[in-house]
Structures are given as structure tokens and as C-alpha cells.
Amino acid sequence: MSGSVRRLRVRVKVDVTPDRSSVRWEDVHGAARGVVYRLLGGQDEALAQELHDSGWLGKPLKPVGVAGPLFLGAPQRKGVYSTSYNGSVWFGSPVPEIASVLVRALAGAEELVWGTTRLRVRGLSVEMDAGVPAGDGPVELETMTPVVLKHEGRNLLPGDAHYLDRLQHNLAHKADVLGLPAPEGVRVLEAGPRRRFTVRGAPRIGARVRVVMEADGRFVNAIRSWGLGLDTIQGFGWVR
């Protein structure tokens, strides 16, 4: 495994303006995966196909994270995912080969088609760490979007039996893909309310969390560009 995988994380914030006053609930997470593959495929069709078909480096995991669309100051309306002029979408990957393609694609994008909503791109900013990892030791991470975990096909929420086991397993699996030590002592400090979304006709149930763990600094940097839990390519588990 290339050492650059261990020392690079990329997070891209894309500032957007929507063409309508709300996003369909089924598009909030349901459209994210398609957006990612269109971006990757427009720059590197072979990479996008490999990731879609078989994951990364022979493992089924897809090291891509997404969060959005998120809208500051959007009006609160029951049952409606309202928008505002001040929108953003986050993308990230801890793998340089994927991250570089994402950055190129986003740099040339004029809009993101998010389901039935068109998001005009107003600008973007890139966060990058290369060579100076965070220190080892206890670290807290808080997610912006719900974390999805499952046990024997059942969606788990913080406090459920097997939740911490599944979270620890997910993080260890990601560490293995990246060639890094797995974190230890994962605990949930705080959890948000239960949230339910539909993705490709199936429910995704989870909650935002604040967790603490003992982790290698390189892994902390990497997971901030990837996310916690399952379905990160669909916008779940993005770290604030």
C-alpha cells in the first residue's frame, strides 16, 4: 500500500444554490451515490466502474464520504426538506487516487444534479492534510449526518445491543483497507434523534453521534474524509 494513502485526506466543501425551495426527502440521501459516480466517471470511467462493481483494492468498502445538501437558514417546515440560497455539499476520500479525481471533477462542475434538484456551484474549498497527522490518543468525532449500522439485517441505534461492536468492526475494517492500526475503546458520548431515510426503496435508519476513541492520528485524518458506519457514499456518517 502506498504511503501516500496513510498521509493524505481530502475534504471538499462545495457552495451551492438550489433551483427550488425544497429537496425531495427521497433525494436527500438517495441521490448522493449517483452524484459521486457521475463525478468520478466524468474524469476516470475505469476507476468509477471498479469502485462501483468491486469496491477498493479487492475489498467491498468504498472509501468515499459525502454530506449534503445542507442549507443554512432554511425555513423550518414540517415534513419538508427546505432549501436556502446558502447551501453546501461536502465530499471526501482518504485515498489519493479517488480524492484527486473528485477534486478535478468538482473544480470543473457548474452544477450538481441532486435527484430532481439542480444545485448551481458557486465555489469550492479544499481541505488537505499531507504529512502532519494529528497526534495519537483519545479523540472525539461528531457526525453531521446519521450513522447507519446493522446487525443481522436490523438497523441499529446508539444504545442498542451490538451497536458498539458493529461500529468498532466498521472502523477496524476501514483501518485494514488503509493499512493503518485499528482504533480502540470506541464509546458513544452523545446521540441525536432517530432519523429515517429511504434509499433505493429500502430504509436507512440511524442517528448522529459524538464518539471518543483511542486512534492513530493518521486514521483520524482519514476517517474525517470517509465517515463513520455504513453507506458513507450515500451521505451517511459524515464527520463534522
The reply to whether CATH 3.90.1150.10 applies to domain 3-130 is no
Q: What was the pLDDT predicted at 58?
A: 86
pLDDT-wise least confident of 11-20, 59-68, 121-130, 224-233: 121-130
User: What is the CATH architecture of 137-234?
Assistant: 2-Layer Sandwich (3.30)
Q: Which residues pair with 15 in a beta bridge?
A: 88, 123
Q: What was the pLDDT predicted at 8?
A: 57
Around Cβ 201, how many Cβ atoms within 10 Å?
Answer: 7
Q: What was the pLDDT predicted at 128?
A: 78
Report d(CA 207, CA 216) in Å as an integer: 25
pLDDT in tens, 172-197: 999 999 999 999 999 999 999 999 99
Q: What is the pTM of this model?
A: 0.91
Question: Whole-number mean pLDDT of the chain?
Answer: 92
Q: What was the pLDDT predicted at 4?
A: 37
Around Cβ 139, how many Cβ atoms within 10 Å?
Answer: 18
Give residue 132's pLDDT band: very low, low, confident or very high (50, 70, 90).
very low
Query: Mean pLDDT over residues 128-140, rounded?
Result: 65
The ranges assigned to domains in the chain are 3-130, 137-234
User: Are domains 3-130 and 137-234 of this chain identical in fold?
Assistant: yes
